[in-house]
Structure 1
Amino acid sequence: MSTPEPLQAPLRRDAAPRQGKYMDRQPMSTWAAYALVGVGALFMLAPFYLMFVFATHTRSEIFDLPPPLWFGNDLAGNLKILTGLLPFWRNVGWSLYVALMSTALTLLFCSMAGYAFALMEFRFKKAIFALVMATMLMPSFMKMIPTFLIMDALGWIDTHRALYVPGAASAFGIFLMRQYASTAVPRELMEAARMDGCGELGIYWHIVLPLLKPALGTLGLITFISSWNNFIDPLVVMRSVGNYTLPLALRSMQSTTNTEWGALMAGSAIATLPLLVLFAIASRQLIAGLTAGAVK
């Protein structure tokens, strides 16, 4: 007997043309998406470009019609005006100090709290975590008056401790550490360490912290950038110009009648440069840490 030939589905006549038409449309949609993203990027980068351009021009040149769109030769003069109006480099130093202290304390306390909520068992654990998360629902301006009253009672008005101590254990940081620790730290490894005689502090320092490095890097970047750009908290508690951080110092240069816009743009450019460099270096780390565990 002859073996019957396998049945084959009849080919549709319009199958090939449709496939070709789809393949022709694919590059066009891709180029359209690239064009849209490029236009959006230009709109986003235009203010930064103009800030750097205006930092090299005098106030009169900035308000010319049309305004200058290329770099000038007055950067040194603007910096001289800036340092004459403000103790600018001292303000830069205070901003760096506050940002570093805020980042270090946030990483320490949030990693400890996240480790406890994720991998330890204690009474009222769920209720306490729910209370911490509930603080994220409150508008930030609601904490201004209570924070000021507490800082005044402690005698911390016009001191930099008032800028980094109150936010050292943020709800967002605790949530991020808890979510990452619950998937990145094996409980079997912790049990093995306990059987070998390692205490809880040793487990946290030698096992948990190394495994939390991606999330720690992300939280550190977010905290540093947020502290460097913080304006409201220094406005509430700071009194002397010599103790101002950069955002508040630059704001103090503005007036309704006589604002040196060239010097102000130079100061803003100097304040923005570290963040641009930091984000360019660590953007992949930031995105990877924020999306860690999403596919799981």
Structure 2
Amino acid sequence: MSAAPKAWARRPKGLTPHIFLALAVLISVFPFFWTIVMATNTTQDIYHSPPKMTFGSHLMENIRHVLTSIDFFGSMLNTVIVACVTTVLVLLIDSLAAFTFAKFEFPGRKLLFGALLGFMMLPLQLGALPQFIIMSHLGWVGTLKALIPPALANAFGIFWLRQYISGGVPDELLDAARMDGCGFLRQYWNVVLPMIRPAMSFLGIYAFVGAWNDYIWPLIALTDPTHLTLQVALAQLNVGHSTDYSMVMAGVLMASIPLVVVFALFARGFIAGATEGAVRG
């Protein structure tokens, strides 16, 4: 008889985390739900009081308005090219730099890593003017090439992979590789990369989403209407005295689909990398 009250008393404590998790999920999902609702209705329905919270039947009409207002698929192709190239180069450069910081002693290592941490605290907008001057001297302003170099040395990516390699790649394996005659690149390719795949998956998604959603630098660097990225092209929908929010939300919904697909393909590695620190020890 005494066990039942004790079990009942413990039940609210067990339910509390689930309640908070359910609330967090609802809060996180609601913007996506509201985007779909706005994309499937008209702007008049959005301004209705109380707002309409059910799906409408105007999605295809709003999509047609998007496709006739901007070069959506051309801008998406530009964004895919920039995001894919940037992600591959970020993974390569950041992993090489992180491996060097984590496993090799060289003069000024702590000073350089401290400077790297300092750069992480600076707003990216501070580098817009120097970047534009450099790209102008190279003759890349107005082309997609101007979008790739500024994003290659990702300070967060180097920090993230350095921490992962320091704790996840044993020095004994690298010593054994050196005894077998492996140089720096051979150690990197055959020993380090296979062991940091979860962290690389996490950083790959992070870099891809960052390049896909980048708006400020493409807005500054791109001057040719045929070379616009998707975020800059979508911003052209929000002009004039009266904004068609249903059309804008339809464009946002279409632009989000590739991100959902990429995340679904790499979700396992993404989640493994994101939770690695919680299960290690």
TM-score by length of 2: 0.90
- Cα displacement string for residues 138-194 of structure 1 (whole angstroms, at most 9, x for unaligned residues): 222222222222222222212222222112111111111111112222333223323
Q: Displacement of 1:249 after TM fit?
A: 1.2
Aligned to 2:140: 156
Q: Gaps spanning 5+ residues in structure 2: where? A: none
Q: Map 1:201-216 onto structure 2 (within 5 A).
A: 201-216=185-200
Q: Which amino acid aligns with 1:48?
A: F
Residue 63 of structure 1, CA deviation: 2.7
**Larger radius of gyration between Structure 1 and Structure 2:** 1
Match of 2:8 in 1: 24
Residue identity over aligned pairs, in percent, reads: 36
- 260-269 or 189-198: bigger deviation: 189-198
| Deviation of the 1:20 alpha carbon | 5.7
Aligned residues: 280
| Bigger helix fraction | 2
Give the aligned partner of residue 11 of structure 1.
Answer: none
Aligned to 2:97: 113
Q: Give deviations 1:203-232, integer Å, cap 9, x for gaps.
A: 211222111211111111111111111111
Q: 1:33 aligns with which of 8, 12, 17?
A: 17
Judging changes above 3 Å, is the alpha-carbon distance between structure 1 residues 156 and 282 closer, same or farther for their aligned structure 2 residues?
A: same
- Alpha-carbon distance between aligned partners in 2 of 1:246 and 1:169, rounded to the nearest angstrom: 23
- In the alignment, the residues of structure 2 paired with residue 139 and residue 60 of structure 1 have an alpha-carbon distance, to the nearest angstrom, of 38
| Structure 1: runs of 5 or more not aligned | 1-15
C-alpha distance in 2 between matches for 1:145 and 1:122: 33
| Larger CA deviation: 165-174 vs 232-241 | 232-241
Deviation at 1:246, TM superposition (A): 1.6
- After superposition, the C-alpha distances for 1:56-112 in whole angstroms (9 at most, x for unaligned) are 223333333443322222222212111111000111111111111111010000010
Residues 35/122 of structure 1: CA separation in 2 closer, same or farther (3 Å cut): closer
- Aligned equivalent of 2:221: 237
**Distance in 2 separating the partners of 1:247 and 1:74:** 23
Q: Deviations over 1:36-69 (max 9, x none)?
A: 3323322332221121122122333333344332
Amino acid at match of 1:41: V
CA distance in structure 2 between the aligned counterparts of 1:226 and 1:22, rounded to whole angstroms: 50
Distance across 1 between alignment mates of 2:17 and 2:178:
54
Question: Does the 8 A contact of 1:109 with 1:168 survive in 2?
Answer: yes
The answer to whether the 8 Å contact 1:115/1:178 transfers is yes
1:56 aligns with 2:40: yes
Residue 169 of structure 1 aligns to a residue whose secondary structure is coil
Which is further off, 33-42 or 213-222?
33-42
Residue number in structure 1 paired with 2:108: 124
Match runs of 1:164-179 below 5 Å: 164-179=148-163
Q: 1:42 to 1:291 in 2, by over 3 A?
A: closer
TM-superposed CA distance for 1:22, in Å, is: 4.4
Instruction: Work out whether residues 197 and 269 of structure 2, in 8 Å CA contact, stay in contact via their aligned partners in 1.
Output: no
Match of 1:224 in 2: 208
Q: Tell whether 2:250 aligns with 1:266.
A: yes
Compute the RMSD of aligned alpha carbons: 2.2
Task: Report if aligned partners of 1:183, 1:293 keep a CA contact under 8 Å in 2.
Answer: no
CA distance in 2, matches of 1:90, 1:139: 30
- Equivalent residue of 1:108, what SS? helix
Structure 1 residue runs of 4 or more that deviate by more than 6 Å after TM superposition: none
1:30 is displaced (CA, Å) by 2.7
Cα deviation digits, residues 104-138 of structure 1 (max 9, x gap): 01000001001111112222222222222221122
How far the C-alpha of 1:21 sits from its partner, in A, is 4.6
Give the Cα separation in 2 of the matches to 1:250 and 1:244: 10
Counterpart amino acid of residue 251 in structure 1: A
Alpha carbons 2:116, 2:155 under 8 Å: kept: yes
Give 2:78's aligned amino acid: W
Structure-1-length-normalised TM-score: 0.86
